[in-house]
Amino acid sequence: MGKVLLVSALALLFSVQLGSSHILSCYFTNWAQYRPPPTIYMPKDIDPCLCTHLLYAFATMKNNKLATFEWNDVYLYSEFSKLKNQNGNLKTLLSVGGWNFGSSGFSAMVASSNARQTFISSVVEFLRKYEFDGLDIDWEYPANRGSPPQDKQLYSVLVQEMRAAFEKEAKTSSKARLLLSAALSAGRDTIESAYQIPQVAEALDMLNIMSYDFHGSWDPMTGECSPLYKSPEDQGGFVDFNVASAMSYWKNSGAPAEKLLVGFPTYGNTFTLKDASNHGIGAPIAGAGTPGKYTQEAGELAYFEICGFLNGATEVWNTAQDVPYAYKGNQWVGYDNIKSFGLKVDWLIKNNYGGAMVWTIDMDDYLGTFCNQGKYPLINVLHKAFGLDKQACTPSATQVPPIPGVTGADGGGGSSSGSSSSGGSSSGGSKSGGSSSGGSSSGGSSSGGSSSGGSSSGGSSSGGSSSGGSSSGHSGMNSAFCVGKSNGFFPNPKNKSQFYQCIGGRTYFQNCSGGLVFDTSCDCCNWA
């Protein structure tokens, strides 16, 4: 009885510390800025009163130190932090890693005490400098994808040392302790090989379970992205490829329910059917579905794109799994809608989980014009279920100070030589570029296999990778190129590996890396 009271007291303390009885944690992606208009999405487009926590994806790591990824991250950080001026209770975290970042950088960092301390010290300095309230670790995954078995234990050491450093810094600075969360697998085989659950759960404030990508175009057949329950068609390991099974496994393995956040996708996974007349769950597929007009990734559609797909499509409610799917011609999508979000969040509350994690805020219908269901129709289901619509959203008493030297849209972080990091996630499998914590790209394997293919900042084809560029003024590029032009991407006629991006009449150039060239058919970097 004493233990029960103690657990209840701790749960209450935890919820009070974070300002809400349920957490609604939403990822923002720093490559949504590269979409075609009107779907370009920036921090200024975020409703600061919608989510309790906002996670900025992704930062990277260089020389065992936390680092910016996109050329304008520093400017975006500043805009991100300003959201707290409008909502005094809002917490912002910076997410590092993602599917495309892989395991090697994390693995090298955790291998020695000195390297871990270098990383941890850089994290504290970086988060305080850019006004973040915490760190989200998205390592996909310890002891997997080239990461040696000992990384399972070293991951525990990392989060324990990080938590201790955050507590020490809070005492010396007299500031609120930095929060620590992590994006974690929902696939049982990966969970068992990657995490010491009790140790990890004790160190983290929030466990963001990536309970989506249970099925996708890496499978040989159709299946739902984030089903609540198992399907009668599920056999073998697939019986655990559902939200209820994944969350129960974490809870029963030693993770406190009040720290577990259930993953909710605002996108669906798409397939091209082998036979358009065979369109049920488990139907054979020929590959990934056609890329969406705006997200431009084969095998995935944002919710705002799914609404357009549904015009003329056949919608089916999957009663066994409490999610819908739809098909039109040879195209098939398994997704979530307002009804399935409602059923899932009711189940979440009934089972006393700590809240929800959304991947991503920028794939919901934030404009409200694609689905005609109001702005952020999916996330608002969670917002209302948690009673956040009844809580005052008031400006902060103390304004977030501006980041020194950041004045405009190009006030950023120099040039980036990689692609815009898509992150990924899956439950047993993975999506190249994935989607839990990243953008998305085709490829992947659902039963633990690895995937190929690249990802992009503006969407790239399988195998391709789009690069972040530096601001205008690079030799050989015309800094006035975009004057009078519409927003979008334009090739550099003098160099096939370079292209212009126009945003509001301003010119930014970008380079394709790794021998890739700019492909106008997808507005992405691709193989020649």
Domain boundary among 390, 408, 434: 390
Q: Is pLDDT larger for residue 524 or for residue 143?
A: 143
Residue 132: count of CB within 10 angstroms of its CB? 25
Domain boundary among 390, 406, 428: 390
Please tell me whether residues 385 and 498 are part of one structural domain: no
- What is residue 495's predicted lDDT score, i.e. its pLDDT? 83
Residue 24 inside a domain? The answer is yes
209-248 pLDDT per residue, tens: 999 999 999 999 999 999 999 999 888 889 999 999 999 9
313-339 pLDDT per residue, tens: 999 999 999 999 999 999 999 999 999
Residue 15 inside a domain? The answer is no
Please tell me whether residues 258 and 375 are part of one structural domain: yes
CA–CA separation, 63 and 5 (whole Å): 46
Beta bridge partners of 273: 285
The three-point CA angle 13-15-17 to 5° equals 65
* Model confidence, pTM: 0.79
Residue 144 inside a domain? The answer is yes
- What is residue 468's predicted lDDT score, i.e. its pLDDT? 32
Residues 356/340, Cβ–Cβ less than 8 Å: no
Beta bridge partners of 467: 419
As a whole number, mean pLDDT of residues 87-110 equals 96
CA–CA separation, 128 and 130 (whole Å): 6
Which residue in the block uniquely carries the two structure tokens 């195209």?
Answer: 331
Please tell me whether residues 520 and 379 are part of one structural domain: no
- What is residue 502's predicted lDDT score, i.e. its pLDDT? 74
Does residue 167 have an active-site annotation?
Answer: no
Q: 140, 169, 258, 300: which is the annotated catalytic residue? A: 140
- What is residue 249's predicted lDDT score, i.e. its pLDDT? 98
- How does 13-52 read in b/e, with b if 16+ C-beta sit within 10 Å? ebbeebebbbbbbbbbbbbbbbbbeebbbbbebbbbbbbb
Q: Which domain holds residue 496?
A: 488-526
- What is residue 154's predicted lDDT score, i.e. its pLDDT? 98
3-state DSSP helix/strand/coil percent for the chain, to nearest 5? Answer: 30, 20, 50
Residue 245 inside a domain? The answer is yes
Beta bridge partners of 84: none
Cis omega (within 30 of 0) for bond into 58: yes
pLDDT at residue 103 is higher than 80: yes
277-287 pLDDT per residue, tens: 999 999 999 99
430-463 pLDDT per residue, tens: 343 333 333 333 233 333 332 323 333 333 322 2
Domain boundary among 344, 359, 390: 390
